[in-house]
Amino acid sequence: MRLGMFFREALRSIRANAAISVAATVTALIAVFILGAFIPSFMYVRSAVSAQTSKVDVDVYISDTASVKQVNALRDKIGTLKTDGQVAEFTYVSKDDALRLMRERLRDPSVLDELPSNPLPAKFNIQPTDPANANAIVAAVKDDAALDPTEGIVYPQTTADRLLTAAKFVQWAGFALIGILLVAAVLLIGNTIRLSIFARRREVEVMRLVGATNWFIRWPFMIEGVICGLVGAVVAVAMLWGIKVGVVDAWASGADTALTKTGSAGGAIAFPLLTVVLVGAGALLGAVGSGITLRRFLRI
């Protein structure tokens, strides 16, 4: 019965202060929209970065003068690393394979025909189970007799380190941004509801006069905030859904672009879950915003 009364009071207030209620709703809408656009983008970037990180591999070049026995010894050494779990996979790339790959990569392969002989060394391409294992793998094979003296071992040490740092940075920057967005949204909605409370401060005064407890006064305002937050969130989700279906999905299915390849499917947040998160955030924003703002008016 009381909840019904609070609800009626909240609706009465929304109707009485229609302009302010619309302002609060639009504020919630913008906040939730930005949040809703940011969360999937952030998760996409994060998955793209981690996809890049997993691509760190080690190339061990083999000297042209190495004997078959030496090459087999090296292969066994790497095989042991695989048994240890440091290496996920490794492949042998012969001199001919290397040349063929080069030919495929070049825009004008005819330049290779000018070569008197194949200058490319054979190699083992090693994929570590974890980018962090790259150093240990390098340490294990770096003095091997079969190694090409000039090329030796090539692996993107700095790239790997940078990617790992970037992945961490993206993660923390993302969380910080989401936090800042939430705080800004709470303050914005609180400020808008402050207008509503200010317009009704006489009412609050009368409530206190007739002996209303602070929670009794607070409930209708908080329900008002939740309603504005919910409506704003639902509209924002509808807009996001429109953008997802109309723009993102069409673009993703249309072209087999590099971007869609790098962003793994597991990295994107499912839309229903995003909806739940955003609508919850909208309601919470409204409640917290009005709750915080009311504190000032409820002293004494």
- DSSP secondary structure of 112-132: GGG-SS--PPEEEEEEESSGG
Indicate which single residue of 105, 107, 202, 296 sits in contact with other proteins (rule: CB under 8 A).
Answer: 202
**Closer to other proteins by Cβ: residue 5 or 173:** 5
- DSSP secondary structure of 38-69: HHHHHHHHHHHHHHHHTT--EEEEE-TT--HH
Indicate which single residue of 38, 92, 216, 241 sits in contact with other proteins (rule: CB under 8 A).
Answer: 216
Residue 206 found at the interface with other proteins (CB under 8 A)? yes
Indicate which single residue of 67, 91, 213, 257 sits in contact with other proteins (rule: CB under 8 A).
Answer: 213
Stretch that binds other proteins, among 51-59, 118-126, 197-205, 269-277 (CB under 8 A): 197-205
**Closer to other proteins by Cβ: residue 10 or 186:** 10
Work out the number of other CB atoms within 10 angstroms of the CB of residue 155: 19
Tell me the closest approach of the beta carbon of residue 288 to other proteins, in angstroms: 22
**Closer to other proteins by Cβ: residue 6 or 44:** 6
Tell me the closest approach of the beta carbon of residue 9 to other proteins, in angstroms: 9
Element (H, E) at 88: strand 87-93
Distance CA 138, CA 35 (A): 43
- DSSP secondary structure of 264-295: -GGGSPPHHHHHHHHHHHHHHHHHHHHHHHHH
- The contact set with other proteins (CB under 8 A) reads 1-2, 5, 16, 202-203, 205-214, 216, 300
